[in-house]
């Protein structure tokens, strides 16, 4: 499958590199407002390809996206140290929306995968601007937050992260909700697994993990200016699910109408395959978690008001 990447900065290039290493695309095409940057990223990644397999990597203008099955939208300005994702909105919305018509003209059948922050709102803008059904416009949402949650739980328990099933819901941002009550390890409830392993899982541990997940981006941005490897791999994972029609359950962001939440774009566990998002699997939550999810939805609803 051919994959286009609009935005050849750190997130877009990390996604392209992950796609190449994972053999998640047969062809990768970069498009950027700085053509020299797109060419340089494509050439650099192409030089890694002989070590991993056969992937064609190139750069071009929007017309080079013709025939793409997926287009990743990673254009926009980066998040500054201390800046929330929502505060990026006014700076990013104009930059982002301008690309949608050109993408659709070049690749009308492509699914859109949105990475630009604030990703939930940008996904909503992309859905409206593109005219595509909501399931064919997928935001990376909390796929990275979920990976962080699983990683920290795995480290605390002393197990592989792949054996941890836990999700972060709602906004990809400060109001996100860690669904502790639904977390499982090896098919067992989290608390039961921790007890069998002899590992403490008290309020202090939970608070530390919550902070580790919720504040991860701020710490990384303070240390190196931006985050890109984790989200690059997450974007490649979404593309894999689409390309192979895996119907994988991933916490991605789309327009939501479930459990009293309506007309807002946020993340829940979704079934992702060749047609995009085909179903939502809302986990059983506590009353406190449900209330927090509704608050997260309201944060996003208020931020998006008047934009579309």
The one catalytic residue among 47, 156, 172, 294: 172
Longest CA span, the chain: 58
Phi, psi angle pair for 248, to nearest 5°: -75, 150
How many Å apart are CA 30 and CA 41, to the nearest integer?
8
What DSSP element (H or E) covers 139? strand 137-139
Beta strand 2-6 with 70-73 is parallel
What are the residues facing 164 on neighbouring strands?
185
Output the DSSP codes for 227-263.
--HHHHHHHHHHHHHHHTT--EEEEEEEEEEETTEEE
What DSSP element (H or E) covers 142? none
How many Å apart are CA 69 and CA 26, to the nearest integer?
11
Question: Which residues have CB under 8 Å from 173's CB, separation 6+?
Answer: 84, 85, 86, 118, 120, 299
Task: Select from 275, 279, 241, 273 the least CA-distant residue to 257.
Answer: 279
Question: Which residues have CB under 8 Å from 100's CB, separation 6+?
Answer: 73, 125, 126, 129, 130
Active site (annotated) includes residue 172: yes
| Cα distances (angstroms) measured from residue 193 to each of 30, 41, 134, 164, 245 | 45, 44, 37, 10, 32
What DSSP element (H or E) covers 305? none
What residues act catalytically?
172
């Amino acid at each position: 499958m051919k994959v286009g990447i609009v935005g050849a900065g750190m997130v877009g290039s990390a996604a392209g590199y992950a796609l190449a290493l994972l053999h998640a695309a047969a062809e990768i095409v970069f498009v950027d407002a700085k053509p020299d940057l797109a060419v340089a990223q494509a050439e650099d990644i192409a030089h890694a390809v002989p070590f991993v397999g056969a992937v064609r990597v190139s750069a071009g203008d929007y017309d080079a996206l013709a025939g793409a099955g997926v287009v990743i939208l990673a254009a926009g300005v980066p998040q500054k140290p201390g800046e929330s994702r929502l505060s990026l909105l006014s700076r990013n919305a104009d930059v982002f929306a301008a690309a949608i018509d050109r993408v659709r003209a070049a690749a009308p059948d492509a699914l859109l995968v949105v990475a630009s922050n604030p990703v939930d709102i940008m996904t909503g803008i992309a859905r409206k601007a593109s005219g595509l059904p909501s399931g064919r416009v997928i935001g990376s949402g909390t796929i990275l937050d979920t990976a962080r949650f699983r990683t920290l739980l795995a480290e605390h328990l002393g197990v592989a992260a792949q054996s941890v099933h836990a999700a972060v819901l709602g906004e990809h941002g400060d109001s996100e909700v860690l669904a502790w009550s639904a977390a499982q390890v090896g098919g067992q409830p989290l608390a039961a697994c921790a007890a069998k392993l002899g590992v403490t899982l008290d309020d202090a541990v939970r608070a530390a993990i919550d902070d580790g997940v919720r504040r991860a981006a701020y710490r990384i941005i303070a240390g190196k200016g931006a985050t890109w490897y984790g989200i690059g791999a997450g974007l490649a994972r979404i593309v894999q699910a689409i390309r192979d029609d895996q119907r994988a359950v991933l916490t991605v962001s789309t327009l939501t109408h479930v459990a009293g939440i309506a007309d807002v774009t946020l993340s829940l566990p979704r079934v992702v395959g060749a047609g995009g998002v085909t179903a939502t699997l809302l986990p059983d939550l506590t009353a406190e978690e449900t209330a927090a999810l509704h608050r997260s939805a309201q944060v996003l609803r208020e931020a998006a008001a008047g934009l579309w």
